[in-house]
């Protein structure tokens, strides 16, 4: 169903599309297939609702977000199970994501009351300057399938807290999760038209309406750099504000003073999180030559013990890839690397036994001897493959790590505080984990540099993306 102007309704076309479980290939639901006309209706509803919503006090908007947080926590288990069925990640990871998603409601319930203005010194004795921060207006949001709940609340919560209204198009692979999030928002008492949802099997016309409709003041998108670049061009042509969280090609750097076994544990946890389908997933593991053998042995042992399967089963740590093209991409990159001289340490093939052939499973894989001419060295994999590259010195690895047009996340393992600070300052990435594989939280700014995006989500920076700055000059 579509959620427009406070009501659940079918698409104007009467069409729907099927949603399947990537672990089993089985259908799990039918969803209304929204059209450009539906998107236009949602935008009109959001524009109509903006005046009343933006004029509520911050405390009133905060109360709604607090209720949404409480409801999401009450429904945590059901939402996590739906996520595992629809997206494929293991149930434990799905539960963690629901908590992370709810945290954005809670954080921005408080940040709504922290949108401060300023009184500035003026050069004339009869003049006063005041600065206000006010909501930008209607927001068009597009979210991905890999984190189908938290990526919604990371956009919706700050937009609503700021006083904006919103129209959201979820990923076509995971619309059921989006519908449940909007059930939470509806049941929290959001006024009609303030938040609207347009699932669709054909995202292009919806995106076109969002970037061209004059009522939409801002576009926020999480997804591929290719699509983000296109949206940026269209948004600029229509003078819309923009937030983009795009692709990554994260380096994971292990220096000689680091504990190789501890570093391998961290590498395995973050690399294979969500089956490697995360924009902050490490794509290049640079390990100092002096400890590379120990690191690889520890990494192989951990990865070899990972069990793939349906995320609703106990003991599963690797879920399916999202679809057949993703599976083919991962397999192509591994075969290309091996053909060009990389050593296959473990994994390296599609998993088909015990019913896994019905889904899109690829064995968790470790490659060593990876070199720049291999496709996996320079292109985002978005799958369960860990490429290991040896290095000799600090300047060499810093140069190698920065040699990409991506700049989202990077990781460094070292016990040397001075070295850690040099890497923190020298790496051209928006997020740096120093001996830390989870440098994210609702209270922390998240976003990239270069082709990995524009703007930040989370933290106090996240709500600023939805605010205009207005100056008042008073002559008295």
Tell whether 240 and 300 lie within a shared domain: no
Predicted local confidence at residue 404, as pLDDT: 96
Is residue 401 in some structural domain?
Answer: yes
Told to judge if 226 belongs to the known catalytic residues of this protein, a careful annotator would answer: no
Looking at 180, 279, 300, 380, which residue is catalytic? 279
**Residue 428: count of CB within 10 angstroms of its CB:** 16
Q: What percent of the chain has pLDDT over 90?
A: 100
**Residue 132: count of CB within 10 angstroms of its CB:** 14
pLDDT in tens, 410-422: 999 999 999 999 9
Tell whether 10 and 158 lie within a shared domain: yes
Is residue 440 in some structural domain?
Answer: no
Is residue 46 in some structural domain?
Answer: yes
Tell whether 175 and 60 lie within a shared domain: yes
Tell whether 294 and 427 lie within a shared domain: yes
Is residue 442 in some structural domain?
Answer: no
Tell whether 189 and 318 lie within a shared domain: no
pLDDT in tens, 65-76: 999 999 999 999
Tell whether 295 and 401 lie within a shared domain: yes
Tell whether 71 and 207 lie within a shared domain: yes
Angle at 270 between CA 265 and CA 274, to 5 degrees: 130
Distant-in-sequence, close-in-space partners of 275: CB < 8 Å, separation ≥ 6: 88, 89, 318, 319, 320, 321, 362, 383, 384
Tell whether 263 and 412 lie within a shared domain: yes
Predicted local confidence at residue 131, as pLDDT: 98
State how many domains the chain has.
Answer: 2
Say what the pTM is.
Answer: 0.96
Looking at 245, 380, 457, 465, which residue is catalytic? 245
**Residue 416: count of CB within 10 angstroms of its CB:** 14
Is residue 444 in some structural domain?
Answer: no
Tell whether 235 and 309 lie within a shared domain: no
- Rounded distance between C-alpha atoms, residue 171 and residue 244, angstroms: 15
Q: What is the pairing mode between strands 409-413 and 431-434?
A: parallel
Predicted local confidence at residue 435, as pLDDT: 98
Is residue 443 in some structural domain?
Answer: no
Tell whether 284 and 224 lie within a shared domain: no
Query: How many H helices and E strands in the chain?
Result: 15, 20
Q: For tokens 């991506």, name the residue.
A: 406
Tell whether 428 and 463 lie within a shared domain: no
Told to judge if 245 belongs to the known catalytic residues of this protein, a careful annotator would answer: yes
The residue range of the domain holding 388 is 250-434
Tell whether 84 and 204 lie within a shared domain: yes
Q: What CATH number is attached to the domain comprising 206? A: 3.40.605.10
Is residue 441 in some structural domain?
Answer: no
Predicted local confidence at residue 116, as pLDDT: 96
Q: For tokens 């672990």, name the residue.
A: 23
- Rounded distance between C-alpha atoms, residue 130 and residue 122, angstroms: 10
- Rounded distance between C-alpha atoms, residue 193 and residue 319, angstroms: 37
Predicted local confidence at residue 383, as pLDDT: 97
Q: What CATH number is attached to the domain comprising 321? A: 3.40.309.10
3-state secondary structure of 13: coil
pLDDT in tens, 52-105: 999 999 999 999 999 999 999 999 999 999 999 999 999 999 999 999 999 999
Predicted local confidence at residue 261, as pLDDT: 98
Is residue 48 in some structural domain?
Answer: yes
Q: For tokens 């060295």, name the residue.
A: 377
Q: Running along the chain, 476 residues long, what does each successive block of 10 average in pLDDT?
A: 97 97 96 98 98 98 98 98 98 98 98 97 96 98 98 98 98 98 98 98 97 98 96 95 96 98 98 96 97 98 96 95 96 98 97 95 98 95 97 97 97 98 98 97 98 97 98 97
Long-range contacts of the stretch 374-377 (C-beta < 8 A, 24+): 374/333, 374/336, 374/337, 374/340, 374/342, 375/332, 375/333, 375/336, 375/337, 376/283, 376/333, 376/334, 376/336, 376/337, 377/284, 377/337
């Amino acid at each position: 169903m579509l959620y427009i102007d406070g009501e659940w309704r079918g698409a104007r076309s009467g069409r729907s599309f099927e949603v399947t479980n990537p672990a089993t290939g089985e259908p799990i639901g039918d969803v209304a297939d929204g059209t450009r006309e539906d998107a236009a209706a949602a935008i009109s509803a959001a524009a109509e609702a903006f005046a009343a919503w933006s004029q509520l006090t911050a405390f009133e908007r905060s109360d709604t977000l607090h209720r949404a947080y409480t409801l999401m926590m009450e429904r945590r288990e059901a939402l996590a199970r739906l996520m595992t069925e629809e997206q494929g990640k293991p149930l434990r990871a799905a539960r963690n994501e629901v908590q992370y998603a709810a945290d954005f409601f809670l954080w921005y319930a408080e940040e709504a009351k922290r949108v401060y203005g300023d009184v500035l010194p003026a050069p004339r004795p009869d003049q006063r300057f005041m600065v206000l921060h006010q909501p930008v207006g209607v927001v068009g949001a597009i979210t991905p399938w890999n984190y189908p709940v938290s990526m919604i609340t990371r956009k919706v919560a700050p937009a609503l807290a700021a006083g904006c209204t919103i129209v959201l198009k979820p990923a076509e692979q995971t619309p059921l999760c989006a519908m449940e999030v909007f059930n939470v928002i509806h049941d929290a008492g959001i006024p009609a038209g303030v938040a609207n949802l347009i699932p669709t099997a054909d995202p292009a016309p919806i995106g076109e309406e969002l970037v061209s409709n004059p009522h939409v003041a801002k576009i926020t998108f999480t997804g591929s750099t290719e699509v983000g670049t296109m949206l940026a061009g269209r948004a600029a042509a229509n003078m819309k504000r923009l937030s983009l969280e795009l692709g990554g090609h994260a380096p994971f750097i292990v220096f000689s003073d680091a504990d190789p076994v501890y570093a391998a544990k961290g590498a395995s946890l973050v690399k294979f999180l969500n089956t490697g389908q995360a924009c902050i997933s490490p794509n290049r593991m640079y390990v100092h030559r002096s400890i590379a053998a120990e690191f690889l042995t520890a990494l192989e042992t951990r990865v070899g013990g990972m069990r793939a399967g349906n995320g609703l089963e106990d003991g599963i740590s690797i879920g399916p890839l999202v679809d057949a093209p993703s599976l083919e991409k991962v397999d192509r990159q591994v075969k290309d690397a091996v053909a060009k001289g990389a050593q296959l340490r473990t994994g390296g093939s599609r998993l088909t036994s015990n019913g896994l052939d019905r889904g899109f499973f690829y064995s968790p894989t470790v490659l060593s001897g990876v070199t720049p001419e291999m496709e996996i060295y320079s292109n985002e994999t978005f799958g369960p493959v860990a490429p290991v590259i040896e290095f000799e010195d600090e300047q060499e690895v810093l140069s190698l790590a920065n040699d990409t047009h991506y700049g989202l996340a990077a990781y460094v393992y070292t016990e040397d505080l001075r070295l850690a600070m040099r890497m923190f300052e020298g790496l051209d990435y928006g997020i740096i984990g120093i001996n830390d594989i989870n440098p994210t939280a609702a209270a922390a700014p998240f976003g990239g540099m270069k082709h990995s995006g524009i703007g930040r989500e989370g933290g106090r920076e996240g709500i600023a993306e939805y605010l205009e700055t207005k100056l008042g000059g008073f002559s008295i």
